[in-house]
Amino acid sequence: MASVSLPDMHGIFVLILMVCALILFTRERIALETSSLAILTILLVGFEVYPYYVEGERLHAIEFFKGFGHEALIAVCALMIVGQGLVRTGALEPLGRLLAKAWNISPSFSLLLTLLISAVFSAFVNNVPIVVLLLPILISIGHRTGKSPSGMLMPMGFATLIGGMSTTIGTSTNLLVVSVANDVGNIHFGMFDFVVPAVIAGGVAILFLWLVAPRILPKRETPLGDFSPRIFEAHLHVDEDGFAAGKTFSDVREKSGNKLQVLEILRDEDKVVRPLPDALLRAGDRLAVRDTPDNLKDFEEVLGMSLYRDDDSPIDEDNPLRAEGQQIAEVVVTQGSSLQGAVLSDIRFADRYQLVILALHRPGHKTQVLQDDIGNMILRTGDVLLVQGTQEKLAELKKSGHVLVLDATSDLPRTSRAPIATVIMLGVVAAAAFGLMPIAISAVCGILLMLISRCMTWQDAAHALNTRVILIVVASLALGSALLQTGGADFMAKLFLAVSAGSSPPFILSGLMLVMAVLTNIVSNNAAAVIGTPIAINIARQLGLPAEPFILAVLFGANLSFVTPMAYKTNLLVMSAGGYEFTDFVRVGLPLSVLLWAVFSFLLPQMYGF
């Protein structure tokens, strides 16, 4: 192994900070935003307190703030906002209708069609709206056919990641790699410059997801069970010889263990008494309650009351509890949702939408059921709420566009502004594709047009932005700049070449891609891409080879986010909705990543002639 001289103290400091960043980004208990801000702050303070000079010129720490105004970050944020306009207007609804009809004709062909359409659209639109659109449709198909949707959801989610590899705007990772390559090496990529290897490898991957993945995925139930009503409305009659007669409402609640929730007290024919603590109950009163069958039976026995249906017919085997018009639905907390970071009791979710919250499921945690204090939990991206209500109320919630509702129906939001939103999005993409203006500028124009045409509001735009994405991008850009300025990137490139001494260029390129693939499944793919790009350029320069294939090795490697659910935001969304376990992602994602890595390792050297 050839000797590699260490960089100066500032370079060593940046390398140590890079290692710390990669470790912090894997810590689940520390918010990624907090880790990013901490790394950025340490970098700023370090270079401000101990100045660094490049060719006699001081490197001012304030320059590390440039990431906040970087073209790549502006493009990422602008595209997220424009994508929110598509979601809010239901502009992708025709696509959903087409796929829903196709599934009734041929399930096997329809799965392939779903994968292909998901991949194609994700090359131009952020994959989150695509996944949000298709999840309810595929889950509805699973419930209608009696099949577990687990064989469809993960392949669909992965197909959007595969499609996103093919253009410069397909993913935020691509935008960052392309922008850093332009900044560092003055290497420019057009929107479709690497579409050929992406389409070839993507075609192989789609075949794997269509033919193999559904067969190796275990059948999983949705995390919160079936779609039958869990909560029933009934009447508890106060019997003359029962406990409640002559007692206050607070006495009765205490006797029930403070579990009894009364909507109203019905007295005589038409009199309604509010269930206040000091309200005195009389024989013949009817307590209108809403609860699970087990709880209602417990109240009947403990309180010495008689349980009747809401039409005042006695409940027995011939007349069981019923919940006519009631449906169960799963509400998924998605990125940009109004529920993200909210406390249900604070926003009065149940009262606002007239829905009963039955349970909460958080990936990797025990499901919180009705009796637990769900109302005071801070909701996170990926949480799933099980709610019950009328079809009309669930439809209202779904059409609001603020949350992702998974239920047994296939209603999709649709507004009169959907065609406008579609035209705006097409214009944004076309302007960048034909070189009329950079994607950052065309996307900002798209935001303005979305707002002027009332396809979305400023509140919708704010919900589309993600603090996590912004801070991880800025911190990564700052680290990448520091690595370049202090010689850290050059050191990493020499070290990589020293480790692979005597290897052929294709082997070195393949190894670089493998390193990126491992990093992207452990830490943020954006961080891996930004740090890896200047290293790739330095490797190419020292080998005397064109930098483009090595940059693409970083780009494609950083997009192989299939092996862990936390590797990409849509993985977590799919995991929550499909009831997958961590091992399911390894089962499908690992062979898929190896397959793509092998295809790209063959294609890139062939296409660039070495």
Q: What is the DSSP string of 448-492?
A: HHHHHTTSS-HHHHHHH--HHHHHHHHHHHHHHHHHHHHTHHHHH
Question: What is the per-residue pLDDT for 1?
Answer: 47
CB atoms within 10 A of CB 196: 12
DSSP class of residue 170 equals: S
Q: How far apart are the first and last CA of the chain?
A: 23
Q: Among candidates 179, 71, 163, which has minimal Cα distance to 125?
A: 163
Residue 267 amino acid letter: R
Question: What is the per-residue pLDDT for 162?
Answer: 96
Residue 199: CB partners within 8 Å, gap ≥ 6? Answer: 166
Q: Please give the structure tokens belonging to residue 518.
A: 């491992």
Compute CA distances 306 → 233, 262, 285, 324, whole Å: 14, 15, 11, 21
Question: What is the per-residue pLDDT for 2?
Answer: 52
Q: Report the predicted TM-score, pTM, of the whole model to 2 decimal places.
A: 0.75
Contact 485, 59 (CB under 8 A): yes
Contacts by residues 496-503 (CB-CB < 8 Å, ≥ 24 positions apart): 496/535, 496/539, 497/2, 497/539, 497/542, 497/543, 498/1, 498/2, 498/3, 498/4, 499/1, 501/1, 501/2
Question: What is the per-residue pLDDT for 311?
Answer: 63
Q: How far apart are CA 573 and CA 340, in angstroms?
A: 13
Q: Among candidates 209, 204, 198, which has minimal Cα distance to 159?
A: 209
Q: What proportions of the chain, in percent to the nearest 5, are helix, strand and coil?
A: 60, 10, 30
CB atoms within 10 A of CB 369: 15
Contact 277, 248 (CB under 8 A): yes
DSSP class of residue 233 equals: E
Is residue 420 classed as helix, strand or coil in its secondary structure?
A: helix
Burial class (CB in 10 A: 0-12, 13-18, 19+), 390: middle
Low-confidence residues of the chain, pLDDT below 50? 1, 371, 408, 410
Question: What is the per-residue pLDDT for 434?
Answer: 86
Percentage of the chain beyond pLDDT 70 is 89
Question: What is the per-residue pLDDT for 24?
Answer: 84
Question: What is the per-residue pLDDT for 335?
Answer: 67
Question: What is the per-residue pLDDT for 325?
Answer: 64
Question: What is the per-residue pLDDT for 513?
Answer: 95
Q: How far apart are CA 425 and CA 443, in angstroms?
A: 8
